[in-house]
Structure 1
Amino acid sequence: MSIIPRMAGKKQFNEDETLDRAITVFWERGYAATSMQDLAQATGVLRGSLYHAYGDKQAVFLRVFERYRRNFLDAARAQLANRDPAVALHDFFAYTIKTMTEAVPPTVASPGPSTRGCLTTKIATDETAMDEPVRAALRSMLDELEDILLARLAMDDATARLRLPSADAARLAATLTRGIVVMERIYHAPAALLATADSLVAVLFTAK
């Protein structure tokens, strides 16, 4: 997704650093609770400069979410590269769980220990964020994730052992990632989450 700056000319700030800081704000506070002033304070970029460069808050979010989507999906592909399909799916779930259970520094809003959770699901459960451009971005992320899973599970070594059609297995795996997110927010138990994921792997694949 490409967003054209509102003003021509070179930006007077480091865009990569700015977007990395902005995504942290959305991740910690959610969409509704994040304001352009919050983004300005976190990035060190004047609010007017953010407006001129990107537009409104939604435009900033769509830009940072595109970076998040690209990075996560690239990592998902890498985790699914193992030559054993069952191990590949285990590695994918292990990576997914690791990213959402990483500890984040305490803030004024969250002074106690907390974990990152999943940005996609955090935004998806915020009705104030569900304008069509945001909904489309989330949909694209999840659709591509399912496509990546399908590409691995449709390989001959996987189809020879799957108990379900590859498309059904990919959809089930993608759906479990959303359920894992919710369970993580309630229990904060990475080992239990991975055990659940491994149970799905065991159900999907016959033994070698």
Structure 2
Amino acid sequence: MAGVKQFNEEEALGRALDLFWARGYRATSMLDLAEATGVQRGSLYNAYGDKEEIFLIVLQRYSEAYLARVSAAFSGDDVAAALTRYLDACIAIMMAGDPPRGCMTTKTATDTALNGERVHIALKGFLDEVEKAIAGYLATPVFAARLALPPAEAARLLVTFTRGMAVLERVYQDEKRLHESARSLVKALVR
């Protein structure tokens, strides 16, 4: 029937996310997406338009899941524990897979000149959303009172740090090193 997807969209988009995460945006073709999802290229084009549109859809899904992890990390009333949970969650995301797949957004961001304006805007929006969410949690009185920096500055530092951590994961692939660096940041941020 025309206009009706003849495939499991959740499953196909999940596989597309995995492929973009493993290969990166630029190195993934529509043929790759068709093979990974089990959906013919023509059906993918009809359902989503092009590779960029598929990427933007899966990036939104990734963003929602990531922000849920941020929310879970910043529970309780101990800012050091919350920061540690957040950074540990970031490390777990990067180290997932065999071999570890790293950070999808940082991997994609390093190719922004080749990705197109919509992808660049979406990545910037993702990072802005993460920073805003973290700043909101850190601004609560119980957290803010123990921070060595104002909440907005601490949030920006955390987002910057996690992007750098993603690069170090690619270079060293040393989970212990990432956790040690994360603990050092927590010590620097909490009074």
Q: In structure 1, which of residues 183, 199, 203 is the aligned counterpart of residue 184 of structure 2?
A: 199
RMSD over aligned Cα atoms: 1.4
Q: Percent identity?
A: 49
Cα offset, 1:151, TM superposition: 1.0
Cα offset, 1:46, TM superposition: 0.6
For 1:35-54, list aligned pairs within 5 A: 35-54=29-48
For 1:94-105, list aligned pairs within 5 A: 94-104=88-98
Q: In structure 2, which of residues 68, 72, 80 is the aligned counterpart of residue 74 of structure 1?
A: 68
Q: Does 1:149 align with 2:143?
A: no
**Which amino acid in the other structure matches residue 196 of structure 1?**
S
For 1:1-208, list aligned pairs within 5 A: 9-104=3-98, 114-127=99-112, 129-206=114-191
Distance 2:2 2:149 in 1: 53
Question: Structure 1 residues 132, 8: closer, same or farther in 2, change over 3 A?
Answer: farther
Distance 1:8 1:161 in 2: 59
Which segments of 5 or more consecutive residues in structure 1 lack a partner in the other structure? 1-6, 105-113
1:110 corresponding residue in structure 2: none
- Aligned residues of 2:25 and 2:115 also touching (Cα < 8 A): no
Which segments of 5 or more consecutive residues in structure 2 lack a partner in the other structure? none
Cα offset, 1:56, TM superposition: 0.9
Give aligned pairs, total. Answer: 191
Cα offset, 1:128, TM superposition: 5.2
- Aligned residues of 1:169 and 1:204 also touching (Cα < 8 A): yes
Cα offset, 1:9, TM superposition: 2.7
Name whichever structure is richer in helix by fraction.
2
- Aligned residues of 2:77 and 2:143 also touching (Cα < 8 A): no
Deviations 1:51-81 (A, max 9, x none): 0000011111111111111111111111111
**Which amino acid in the other structure matches residue 165 of structure 1?**
P
- Aligned residues of 1:27 and 1:116 also touching (Cα < 8 A): yes
Deviations 1:87-107 (A, max 9, x none): 001000001101101133xxx
TM-score w.r.t. the length of structure 1 is 0.88
